[in-house]
């Protein structure tokens, strides 16, 4: 079983690939089984019974089993097609694993599955999938697509074109050549995470073999997560020892194809790893919440300079900044971020550095402005892993009152599990939020190091200069992202 250190190492490696927008996912049948769909053996069990064969004895020969049935029926695959429709057209809900993968900035998905779980998950995450399961699909591009989904064995709604029989596999390199070319290109240019995949597919074996021969020791390294052979799943101790030994040889062989395996005991560990990956990725994005009509007791000038310096420092350390352009604060956030982006990096404004979500100020007859603002806040915070809160007041008539918008952003951030950093030293709503977090810091932010808790204490001390507060914020960000 993989240790926690090994899991953390995988999460860090995958997170780095996400930062470079270089991670692709390959989903096998195991990912769909968790959603209630059948695996290949279960799908073809009725076929085996009709052929008077034992499905248990044909586990390594399932492709031929489908071919035998096709031959027996005089090259008629209507029953095979119906099995696909019956078993994969259900309205099964997406799994947590699919949902996390869809939320991550992964733009390339490959799957041998016939179901629609990954495209449904992407749509639920507000993304546009460009689904390809025929040669013709390679000739067109879905407008404003967020991710490509290659369904290399077909789609449940087009069962007659699905790859099922041994003949389908034998003709694959002719009839599905665009998929082979595309996957070969992705395997050599992206880092893949294989999930729920057995590596028994002959098409994948063909492609990996071509890459290994072409690049030998220089091939890119990929990752997969595999469940170890369990005694409870074996007939007896001898069967367990045999299957365990075979799995060890198999894992060693995968290394020759540039695929490193992380061995787990139970499938729920995949979800835990993906949750850690999402949390790690989001921790690199900082949402700055702020609104100010009054800057008392500090001056407007020094407060703006602090916010600009904060935004600049966050960008400099490699984090991303999300801003809603809050009144009296938003312009300083953007000024600091752009100064670092333009002056230090020589870059243009790119979404991976600065995400802007200016609030609309006028409602239309078909729009509820308050609901629109709530949706905006949910959108901004869905990108983020850390939320910083500064000042938080507004003018209500002739009175300065606490910002209810900042309170809403705090509650959304807390619900989404963001690391909460109210800078209480700036007063107003930020002070109120700092008091709440400080009373039960671990309950809000989880257990952290003494460096973090000591630095958080500084954020609530209004006697500290802004320079010291800025240093404390950056210490926290660096510490929680180790």
Cα dist. 12→17, 193, 318, 481 in Å? 9, 13, 15, 10
Instruction: List the one residue out of 106, 99, 146 whose CA is nearest residue 125.
Output: 99
| Residue 225, helix vs strand vs coil | strand
| Residue 222, helix vs strand vs coil | strand
* Torsion of the alpha carbons at 89, 91, 96 and 101, rounded to the nearest 10: 50
Handedness of CA 225, 114, 118, 133 (dihedral sign): positive
Q: In what order do the strands lie in the sheet with 320-323?
A: 354-356, 320-323, 285-291, 386-391, 419-422
Contact status, residue 445 vs residue 437, Cβ threshold 8 Å: yes
Among 98, 153, 223, 304, the active-site one is 153
Distance, in Å, from the CA atom of 216 to the CA atom of 238, rounded to the nearest integer, reads 37
Q: In DSSP terms, which residues pair with 263 in a beta bridge?
A: 226
Is 223 noted as a catalytic residue in this protein? Answer: no
Distance, in Å, from the CA atom of 203 to the CA atom of 445, rounded to the nearest integer, reads 46
Buried b (16+ CB within 10 A) or exposed e, 5-38: eebeebbebbbebbeeeebbbbbbbbbbbbbebb
By annotation, the residues acting in catalysis are 153
């Amino acid at each position: 079983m993989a240790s926690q250190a090994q899991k953390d190492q995988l999460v860090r490696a995958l997170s780095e690939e996400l930062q470079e927008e270089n991670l692709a996912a390959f989903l096998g049948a195991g990912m769909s089984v968790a959603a209630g769909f059948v695996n290949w053996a279960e799908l073809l069990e009725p076929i085996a019974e009709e052929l008077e064969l034992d499905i248990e004895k044909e586990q390594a020969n399932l492709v031929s089993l489908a071919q035998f049935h096709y031959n027996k029926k005089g090259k008629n695959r209507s029953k095979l097609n119906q099995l696909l429709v019956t078993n994969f057209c259900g309205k099964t809900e997406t799994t947590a694993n699919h949902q996390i993968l869809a939320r991550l900035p992964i733009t390339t998905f490959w799957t041998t599955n016939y179901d629609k779980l990954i495209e449904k998950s992407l749509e639920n995450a507000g993304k546009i999938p460009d689904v390809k399961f025929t040669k013709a699909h390679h000739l067109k591009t879905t407008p404003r697509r967020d991710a490509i989904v290659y369904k290399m064995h077909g789609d449940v709604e087009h069962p007659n074109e699905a790859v099922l029989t041994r003949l389908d596999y034998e003709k694959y390199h002719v009839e599905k050549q665009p998929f082979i070319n595309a996957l070969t290109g992705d395997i050599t240019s992206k880092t893949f995470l294989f999930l729920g995949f057995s590596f028994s597919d002959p098409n994948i074996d063909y492609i990996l073999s071509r890459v290994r021969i072409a690049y030998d020791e220089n091939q890119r390294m990929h990752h997969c997560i595999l469940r170890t052979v369990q005694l409870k799943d074996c007939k007896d101790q001898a069967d367990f020892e045999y299957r365990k030994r075979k799995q060890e040889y198999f894992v060693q062989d995968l290394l020759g194809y540039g695929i490193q395996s992380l061995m787990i005991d139970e499938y729920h560990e995949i979800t835990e790893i993906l949750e850690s990956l999402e949390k790690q990725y989001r921790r690199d994005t900082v949402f700055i919440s702020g609104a100010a009509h009054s800057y008392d007791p500090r001056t407007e000038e020094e407060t703006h300079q602090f916010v600009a310096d904060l935004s600049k420092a966050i960008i400099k350390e490699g984090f991303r900044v999300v801003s809603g352009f809050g009144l009296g604060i938003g312009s300083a956030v953007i000024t600091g971020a752009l100064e670092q982006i333009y002056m230090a990096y020589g870059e243009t404004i790119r979404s991976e550095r600065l995400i802007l979500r200016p609030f609309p100020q006028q409602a239309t007859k078909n729009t509820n402005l308050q609901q629109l603002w709530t949706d905006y806040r949910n959108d901004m915070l869905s990108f983020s892993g850390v939320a910083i809160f500064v000042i938080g007041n507004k003018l209500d008539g002739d009175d300065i009152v606490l910002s209810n918008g900042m309170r809403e952003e705090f509650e959304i951030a807390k619900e989404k599990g963001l690391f909460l950093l109210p800078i209480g030293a700036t007063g107003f709503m930020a002070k109120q939020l700092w008091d709440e977090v400080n009373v039960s810091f671990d309950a809000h932010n989880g257990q952290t190091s003494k460096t973090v808790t000591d630095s958080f204490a500084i954020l609530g001390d209004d006697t500290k200069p802004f320079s010291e507060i800025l240093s404390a914020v950056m210490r926290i960000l660096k510490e929680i992202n180790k």
